[in-house]
Amino acid sequence: MLGKSLAAMVVAAFIAVVPAAAYGDDESYAPSLHSEPSLDGSVVASQCIGDVPWISYSVVMTDPDNVATGHDPVLVISGGGNTTEIPLLTLDSSNQSHGKVLWPGASVDSAGKATGWPGWKFDNGRWVETDGNFAWTRGPITAVIRVNPELTVPLSYPPATAVCASPPAPPKDPGKPAALASTGSTFNPIPALYVGGGLIVLGGLTVLVVRRRAAKRR
């Protein structure tokens, strides 16, 4: 009886110890505790500032376990079979980036004044529409912020003002005289002057002939 009890105790001890030895040193059974990075809360917006189309952005990456493999955000715009990538400012120490970039196809001079608009080009002294210069970005587009994670965000060309939608009328050539303001009439005064002058001369000749005839009768 004592032998059976002793054997049972040995078996129980073996069952209790073996699983611990088998699994205790194998870390592959431990579940992963890493959180995937996220761009939730990041936004972009279009706006006209001083007749210039801009894209303002705020990128916020949540990465509590520091597993992201990149920190240089890019804004990817696609539409009509076209794609363009716009580099944004590198994420700071708090994994954030804020700023603004020109809309594709827009340009400014050193003073920040608009010198170009998407879908337009300056040709032979005047602005003309073109299918080039990122004209497709004025239509339906999709936008994605991409770092290591990525996030689809709503974006469209800024609400059109008379100038932001298209370039202003080209300035007049200073070498040309200014045109008279239109009055809505197509009357040309030059022929009238000629006709009036002719009538005056004809009237004078008629009076002279009549006087001469009267003098002869006397």
CB 147 within 8 A of CB 59: yes
- Taking the C-alpha atoms of residue 94 and residue 66, their distance in angstroms, rounded to an integer, is 11
Q: Is the pLDDT assigned to residue 199 strictly greater than 70? A: no
- Taking the C-alpha atoms of residue 124 and residue 106, their distance in angstroms, rounded to an integer, is 19
* Range 179-200 average pLDDT: 46
Which range is least confidently modeled, 4-8, 20-24, 80-84, 85-89? 20-24
- Taking the C-alpha atoms of residue 112 and residue 46, their distance in angstroms, rounded to an integer, is 17
Whole-number pLDDT of residue 173: 40
Nearest to 120 by CA among 160, 79, 87: 160
Element (H, E) at 199: helix 189-217
| Of residues 109 and 164, more confidently modeled | 109
Q: Is the pLDDT assigned to residue 193 strictly greater than 80? A: no
CB 77 within 8 A of CB 156: no
Q: For the chain, what percent of residues have pLDDT higher than 90?
A: 54
> What are the tens digits of pLDDT across the range 84-94?
999 999 999 99
Q: Please provide the average confidence, as pLDDT, over all residues in the chain.
A: 77
- CA terminus-to-terminus distance, the chain: 184
Question: What values do phi and psi take at 95, rounded to 5?
Answer: 60, 45
pTM: 0.63
Sign of the alpha-carbon dihedral angle for 85, 91, 95, 97: negative
* Range 147-156 average pLDDT: 96
> Which band of pLDDT confidence, cut at 50, 70 and 90, is reported for residue 56?
very high
Residues whose CB falls within 8 Å of the CB of residue 73, separated by 6 or more in sequence, listed in order: 59, 61, 87, 88, 89, 90, 91, 97, 145, 146, 147
- Taking the C-alpha atoms of residue 125 and residue 109, their distance in angstroms, rounded to an integer, is 18
| Of residues 49 and 20, more confidently modeled | 49
Which range is least confidently modeled, 14-23, 58-67, 146-155, 181-190? 181-190
